[in-house]
A and B are shown apart, each in its own frame.
Chain A
Amino acid sequence: MTWLLALILLPIAGAVVVAWLRDNDRLAFRTALGFSLATLALVIPLWNSYEPGGDRMQQTSSVEWIPRFGIHFAFGIDGIALVMIAVIALLVPLVITVLGVTDRLPAGRSAGGYLSLILVQQGLTIGVFSATDVFLFYVLFEVMLVPMYFLIGAYGGPNRQYAAVKFFLYSFLGGLIMLASVIGAYVIASEELTEGTFDWATLTAVVSDAPLSTQIWLFLGFFLAFAIKAPLVPLHTWLPDAAGQAPIGVAVVLVGVLDKVGTFGFLRYCIPMFPAASQELAPWVLTLAVAGVLYASVLAAGQQDMKRFVAYVSIAHFGFITLGIFAFSMQSQVGAVTYMLNHSLATGMLILVIGMVIARGGSSVISDYGGMAKVTPVLAGLMLVAGLATLALPGTNTFISEFLVLLGAFETRPVFTVFAAIGMVLAAVYVLWLYQRVMQGPVRGNALVGAAGGPGAVQAPEVAAPKVVRDTSRRELAVLAPLVVLIIGLGIYPKPVVDVVTPSVEATMSAVQGGDER
């Protein structure tokens, strides 16, 4: 058994065990944490055994599933998948740890159910990143929605059912359209070859030679599914609802990792399988990406709710990532891939910090807060670190990615890039404005002082005695500290990650004809 298979199966095994422990919350919590930490530990041998200059797919394994159609349980990873697997393995233990800190279970629900769903989600997501059979990828892509649907629909905020259904419908429809393209690709391949196959490498080799018109139709099927997943404007409206209603931990998994399946799909499926179509349609995709950067940035500045704010920030960042991917330069694509990782860390941290703020004030509405830095200076400092990583300050990990994306894209697509660069200023506006409204100024707002006067108090907020709001607990520090270390560490020394993804990006780029080498 490869390390990779162990990484997929361990969380799922954990989920079964934890589900069985439903009536003991404490034990379920410890078991789930144990499984997630063991999964994280497995990443170390996986990372070490990966050879950046080696085969396109490594850690491969394959078992026949449906021989009639040449479908296999086939897994393997390249550098891009490796990085994404590492990041979800890192985030899940943190997400489990904040249960009881930022997230409270609804009355009557056991921790076992929630934690078991999180672990299933982790296993399936690792599976999606490592599937090397296109049909298997499709199946996992759809199945992956189920635990997330329950996590939002059963454990989320007051409007959770609407949000969960919207999330599910959107993604499911996208997936169905992708299925049409998957079948189309299979049909083309079986006409060329003697027998049909869903093997990614074989299918890619055949389909990438198809005529442009065919490629465009098949490309669009995949593209739509992925553009919904890593939402590009105007397919984005499910994300603010889903992230706004999801529990904090679930939002971290959703925005931090699940959505990256979309940008991962662009790189793994859209470009290598349909290189001609990718080039032909690139200007349209870039238009969506850059419009998304600007549109979502302006919307982020206008949000009243912190969780929806993070959703719009992420949509803007997905715009940057898509720009990097479809600008077809080595630097911009490496930037995009590292952005996928770095966005998970930075935005993951931002969501967690916001969750801690909400846990103290009991509201996610920005105007319910003010001057919190006076009461919780450490939490304020941590929010600033997350915010600065979000606005891609040099010295943080996201800077490397945003810089590479823009630098590389400027070489091939200067006009798009200049417009996207405006997003740098807008990022400063929305991050610092949020920070100012929540953390700076005099202590004020219902969440911090209102409770002292009771509901409907006529007292001026400044006069009311502040509620007892404590600064970060040890557990919260333990959750955020590894993220701070990685955010700054990868900002100063990103080479290990860059070296792992560069050969895989090169392989992706080589599929695109005429994509110049620099």
Chain B
Amino acid sequence: MIASSWLLVAFPALGALILLIGGKRTNGWGHLLGCATVVASFAYAVALFVTLLGRQAADRSAEVHLFSWIPVEQLQVDFALLIDPLAVTFALLITGVGSVIHVYSVGYMAHDQDRRKFFAYMNLFVAAMLVLVLGNGFVTLYLGWEGVGLASYLLIGFWQHKPSAATAAKKAFIMNRVGDVGLALAIFLMWRHIGSTSYSEVFAGIGEVPTSVTLAIALLLLLGACGKSGQFPLQAWLPDAMEGPTPVSALIHAATMVTAGVYLIARAGPIFNVTPAGQLAVTIIGALTLLLGAVIACAYDDIKKVLAYSTVSQIGYMMLAVGLGPFGYALAIMHLLTHGFFKAGLFLGAGSVMHGMNDEVDIRKFGGLYRKMPITFATFGLGYLALIGFPFLSGFYSKDAIIDAAFGQGGIEGWVFGGAALLGAGITAFYMTRLMLLTFFGKPRWENLRSTDGREFHPHESGPVMAWPMILLAIGSVGSGYFFAQDDRLASWLTPSLGALQPGPDPVLGHGTVVAATLTAVGLGILVAWLLVGRVQPEVERPQHVSAVVTAARKDLYGNAINEALVARPGIWLSRALVYVDNRGVDGIVNGLAAGLGGGSGRLRRLQTGFVRSYALSMLAGAGVLVGLLLMVRFL
């Protein structure tokens, strides 16, 4: 069973290959093949999971050597898989949620003439993501890392005739590349100081490396994680990525790819465990991003962008948790999994709403949709409750555990990080309630409006092929938290990979107090949202005269403006200036020299009387040959 684990990757990779090479010939059945390969992988992952469960905890980790990939002397990078509880957990998430979303896409993309290409790219993504989580070292991780980046690029730009989609795709790839360079440099440092790139050898040797180097490795890995997971300061690409079709946003930009940064840091736990400063950096990035994402999410009226910033913010929670070290690894993974369910469900719900509303995304134009789309409303509503941490739904267990652990750090750190996480929970409740109220409740505001292409709105429920995936994910949103948290089930399953879950060293607040405080914050958030958009009828037009804070939030807290001013525009100027310099300056000197030499050799020839030998003569002979050649070309 374990020895053939490469089949997990092979199924979707083969699917992508057949669909890409087959082209239009596969139009009739391409989507079915695309679903089948992912479902096959899921079945294999389940079987693998059962196999591991049947073993003793200590035997649940195995390396599968496939072939020698990059062998140069001491550097021996193998193509090998590491099958352990963490990897299998991710494989289940990727193929499980992946299968559900593939099925949903059959309905969602039914009218797109390139549906088969869509499934090819989705399969490519699943294969690359599986390489990322199943590889046994940092180089195979890097292969999957950039592979999912490619799939993300292709899918964000799937409607590439739209300039905005093409630009967003390019932006995502380039910002990810910045993070990837960090990851690459971290690998180079490991090679230089430890002499290996595989997990087992790096983790075994990390203890003997100077602390400054360990810190550098940790920070470079963090840079890589920030790029992939849309964390500050590389968060700006993720909201733009919503240009892609909605199933892409659900699978790649909510449930799986963007959580790869969390996976990376959890996997590299043995490195972070020995560098407290590195861990602190991770926590700070997490806390900062969770607030930043939550604040911006309050200002958007685009249903997908609100969910995108919500994802940024929720991954902030996970980063905060992995930064806590052994106190938080399992909690981060637990939130990652529950978030995978409810956020994917929310995105699919958003897609269903858009499907019924002529692809409109502006929540100010919605309202009262619960009557028209009962299934979407129910599943989206459960996802919403799970996300804000409503008692006994999945977010309640996973998010509260992180807030609890943050306070558990003790001292100033405990207060700061715990406070940030608590505040974030309140803001999350606010923006999600606002989204919920504007979309599904209140009076319908769409009745007298037209969509941008001039059609009237006739909201309707989506068909069963889209409804069932939403229902399945809603079940996960409701029950997964309790299932994982009960008896620390998930934490003890992950112990062989991540070490045992430890309680915080010095909690500044008791567990009961934290739960009460969180529920109060959530309640306040809901109340404020109701006062603003539930009690009063909201306007269809976006208010223009708003406070400075709202203006800033609407402009993504100036993230894009800063990128534009500091990187993009100077880059274009530099490029133009250098083109000018190269043409006029560098090449100008060359041409000037050539002209000077040409004149000089002409005079030399007249002066030449037979005394000049050696090099001058051969130069001249060369010039003579040249002139001859020139003439030949002229008259050929």
Q: Which residues of A contact B (CB under 8 A)?
A: 146, 149-150, 153-154, 161, 164-166, 168-170, 172, 176, 179-180, 233-234, 236-238, 295, 298-299, 301-303, 330-331, 334-335, 371, 373-374, 378, 381, 388, 393-395, 400, 403-404, 406-407, 410-411, 414, 417-418, 421-422, 424-425, 428-429, 432-433, 436, 439-443, 492-495, 498-499, 502, 506, 517-518
Contacts and interface: CB of A to CB of B under 8 A. Distances in A.
Interface stretch (B156-164, B204-212, B338-346): B156-164
A331 B177 contact: no
B177 A237 contact: no
B191 interface: yes
B574 interface: yes
B548 interface: no
B360 interface: no
A381 B120 CA distance: 13
A162 to B, nearest CB: 9
A90 to B, nearest CB: 22
Contact of B142 (A394, A422, A442): A394
SS class of chain B's interface: helix, strand, loop or mixed? helix
A440 B75 contact: no
Contacts of B618: 176, 179
B633 interface: yes
Interface string B160-190: 1111001101100110011011001101110
Contacts of B157: 440
Contact of B622 (A154, A172, A407, A492): A172
Contact of A436 (B23, B166, B634, B636): B166
A436 B174 CA distance: 13
A473 to B, nearest CB: 15
Interface in B578-636: 578-579, 582, 586-587, 590, 594, 615, 618-619, 622, 626, 629-630, 633-634, 636
Given A237-B582, A302-B575, A331 B73 contact: yes
A114 to B, nearest CB: 11
A393 B192 contact: no
Contacts of A165: 626, 630
Nearest to B634: A161
19 contacts: A149-B633, A150-B629, A165-B630, A172-B626, A237-B582, A302-B575, A302-B578, A371-B161, A374-B161, A395-B147, A428-B173, A429-B571, A432-B153, A432-B173, A439-B160, A502-B72, A517-B73, A518-B74, A518-B75
B576 interface: yes
Contacts of B173: 428, 432
A79 B273 CA distance: 45
Contact of B71 (A146, A378, A495): A495
A388 B587 contact: no
B43 interface: no
B443 to A, nearest CB: 38
A421 B146 contact: no
B67 interface: yes
A302 B576 contact: yes
A411 B191 CA distance: 8
Contacts of A410: 185, 188-189, 191-192
Contacts of B72: 330-331, 334-335, 404, 498, 502
A295 B68 CA distance: 36
A153 B633 CA distance: 6
Given A154-B633, A295-B578, A440-B166, A495 B174 contact: no
A404 B70 contact: yes
A240 B574 CA distance: 19
A330 B575 contact: no
A495 B69 CA distance: 7
B174 A425 contact: yes
Contact of B191 (A149, A394, A407): A407
A393 B152 CA distance: 14
A292 B614 CA distance: 35
Contacts of B180: 424
A439 B161 CA distance: 9
B160 A298 contact: no
B622 A176 contact: yes
B485 interface: no
Contact of A302 (B79, B162, B185, B579): B579
Contacts of B636: 150, 154
A394 B143 contact: yes
B70 A161 contact: no
Given A166-B594, A168-B626, A422 B181 contact: yes
B178 A425 contact: yes
Contacts of B79: 492
Given A180-B615, A407-B75, A237 B590 contact: yes
A150 B579 contact: no
B75 A442 contact: no
B14 interface: no
B163 A176 contact: no
B150 interface: yes
Interface in B86-112: none
A421 B177 contact: no
A166 B143 CA distance: 42
A407 B619 CA distance: 43
B576 A493 contact: no
B160 A237 contact: no
A440 B70 contact: no
Q: Which of B143, B178, B582, B615 has the most chain A CB atoms closer than 10 A to its own CB? A: B582
A443 B160 CA distance: 11
Given A153-B633, A169-B594, A498-B71, 6 more contacts: A172-B622, A302-B579, A330-B72, A406-B184, A502-B73, A517-B73
A406 B629 contact: no
A428 B630 contact: no
Given A176-B619, A237-B587, A442 B161 contact: yes
A383 to B, nearest CB: 13
Contacts of A517: 73
Given A237-B582, A439-B160, A424 B633 contact: no
Contacts of B69: 492-495
A202 B506 CA distance: 74
Given A298-B578, A373-B160, A395-B147, A432 B73 contact: no
B70 A494 contact: yes
A145 B108 CA distance: 59
Given A237-B586, A394-B143, A407 B578 contact: no
Contacts of B169: 432
Contact of B143 (A395, A421, A494): A395
Nearest to B75: A331
A238 B575 CA distance: 20
Contacts of B67: 493, 495
Interface in B40-89: 67-75, 79
A464 B69 CA distance: 51
A414 B220 CA distance: 15
B624 to A, nearest CB: 12
Contacts of A436: 166-167, 170
8 nearest A-B residue pairs (beta carbon): A302-B575, A440-B166, A410-B188, A237-B587, A302-B579, A153-B633, A394-B143, A428-B177
Nearest to A170: B590
Nearest to B174: A428
A333 B590 CA distance: 31
Contacts of B70: 400, 403-404, 494, 498
Given A168-B626, A299-B582, A394-B146, A440 B161 contact: yes
A298 B73 contact: no
A440 B578 contact: no
B317 to A, nearest CB: 29
Given A407-B191, A418-B185, A168 B150 contact: no
A234 B71 CA distance: 35
B147 A429 contact: no
A309 to B, nearest CB: 11
Contacts of A179: 618
A38 B162 CA distance: 48
Contacts of B185: 410, 418, 421
